[in-house]
Amino acid sequence: MPHRPAKRAAPPSSILFPNDQDTGIGPRSYGDQTEELVVAIDIGTTFSAVSFCILRPGCPGAPQLEMVSSWPGQSLSDPKVPSVLFQDTDGNVMAWGAETTHQDVKAKAERYGWEKVEWFKLDLRPPHLEAFIWPTTGVSSEGPEVKPCLPIQNVDKALSAYTTFLQLVHQHLKPHFSGLMGRHVSQRQRAALDRIKFVSEAEAAIVYAADTGKLDAWLQVGKDVILCDVGGGTIDITVYTVLNAYPLELKEKVAPKCVVAGAGLVNAAAKAYFQSKLQGTKWDKPGIIDDLMDEFERDVKKRFENVSSEYCIGRFGLSEEEDLENIRHGRFYIPGVTAIKSNILDVYQRSGQIAKNVIMVGGFLNSSYAYANLEEWGKRYNFKFTKPDGVMAKTVSHGALLWYLSKPVKGYIAKVHYGSDVSFPAEEVLDDVNGRNTVMRADGVYIYENIWESIVSMGQELPRKGILHRFEKWFDEYDSKEDLMLQEKIYIHRGEQIPNFMIDRFTGLMLPEFEHVCTIVADLRDQYNMTPWAKTNVQGKRFKILKVSRRV
């Protein structure tokens, strides 16, 4: 009789992993006969983090999630690693992550002219993404407004920095996980490194927050919740409707909102403030400014609670008291809170003004002042705020693992319009036709080309199985057979109002507001051969109409 291993005790039930195997996430979900390592990497604007878990067959319920808490250059374990590089003039990496915080490394960087590369993630943002603005002097919220000056202004350079940093993270993880898995790391599991999935920060954050158990009373069927993830560089806000409470199933109610603003921009405002106060003094040096910023990040920003209180930063000798007199006092405006408020109101109004419960996550919430300010403001609109307990650094990386294991979000809202260019008989097109030429179709009918046809409209809920896109392709007997290898381009439009035609009538060029996002490729040769010729058109030519449908 075959030996049966003893059953392992099930872990405590959770909203994502109920112990009921008929409804929850059970061992069958893992679909593997061997141990499997799952790694989630969060490359943040200011800090990065990595979480992992091992899926073991026969172990019911949720696996144990862990974080990588040892990084090069750390004297004490910390799951957060700065998303920073020091590069020499040839682009070689001289230090990265926690190494860049060392005083000796900073001294070498200043001596040898190394470039500090940070915030590179923000330069990969698409041009349409809204960027929060604030006063450059930091004195008043009513001051002159400019967009934040980012250290990298070149997308290619930013992409290179992002790739380099990700490679360094990967190189650090390889020996860590090899030792963890040991002989169990099979060739098949090594090949699994090619299986990469992406999840939005907001989606990972809602899953992490739900798994803490603190939100169970809010996550009831039919209820709406607002998720606000305020990280180092962006604010991501989404409204979710609860479809099922146990196990948790959600769907987006409105298109998510993303704005370039966050904890990192508070640092930028502080740095600008320090530079303006120290300008022209003997302390106006990059090294001293960096030291002040380190102290601000490590201490003052976290314990700041009241604008009326005095906070000291920087250490100077008694002999310098007279010189310090003119720079001792000052106040700077903390950006970011205003952007959070305005964008919470935006999604609240777009979702029907029903959701009143706001889940706050992200590194910005390490500031007790910012959270208390939001709570006080929320009373005007009857908003209730909460945030999960524990380390905020876990939010995205742990949430990404939970997302991979449970997939609780079942419905998504289109953030933009999706469509393609089509043609219509001239007699059916009435708008914007002056100055545009018609062409004759294979059946002899005159048509207008390059007309926008929507596949999915902005704000529409996306079907789980995708959208079935149907269109026709016309051929006469003299058309080139090369056209049977169809390449149907799909475009997006981000505006509320979409032009009827996609081509400028004067230049013949594609209007800039249409963006090409993908191309559907289809081989129509078999369908062409099986389709009979239609009746001859007015010119006596035979033609065929191929009806094509593709799921996108």
The predicted structure's pLDDT at residue 148: 44
In 3D space, the residue among 425, 416, 499 whose CA is nearest the CA of residue 458 turns out to be: 416
Q: Each residue of 331-386: pLDDT tens digit?
A: 555 556 777 888 899 999 999 989 999 999 887 777 777 888 899 999 999 999 99
By the 8 A CB rule, do 405 and 29 touch? yes
In 3D space, the residue among 404, 392, 401, 406 whose CA is nearest the CA of residue 51 turns out to be: 401
Which among 14-28, 63-77, 193-207 has the top mean pLDDT?
Answer: 63-77
pTM as predicted: 0.79
Given a cut of 60, whether residue 301 has pLDDT beyond it is yes
Domain ranges of the chain: 36-181, 416-551
Given a cut of 60, whether residue 316 has pLDDT beyond it is no
Given a cut of 50, whether residue 264 has pLDDT beyond it is yes
Confidence of residue 201 (pLDDT cuts 50, 70, 90): confident
The predicted structure's pLDDT at residue 62: 67
By the 8 A CB rule, do 465 and 513 touch? no
The predicted structure's pLDDT at residue 7: 33
In 3D space, the residue among 67, 4, 123 whose CA is nearest the CA of residue 399 turns out to be: 67
Q: Which helix (H) or strand (E) holds 266?
A: helix 263-278
Q: How far apart are CA 209 and CA 463, in angstroms?
A: 26
The predicted structure's pLDDT at residue 188: 47
The predicted structure's pLDDT at residue 129: 75
Confidence of residue 320 (pLDDT cuts 50, 70, 90): very low
Given a cut of 60, whether residue 428 has pLDDT beyond it is yes
For residue 386, what are the contacts with CB-CB under 8 A and spacing of at least 6?
Answer: 214, 215, 218, 357, 358, 359, 360
The predicted structure's pLDDT at residue 19: 52
- Coil, strand or helix at 402: helix
Given a cut of 90, whether residue 93 has pLDDT beyond it is yes
Mode of pairing for the β-strands spanning 417-425 and 439-440: unpaired
Given a cut of 90, whether residue 215 has pLDDT beyond it is no
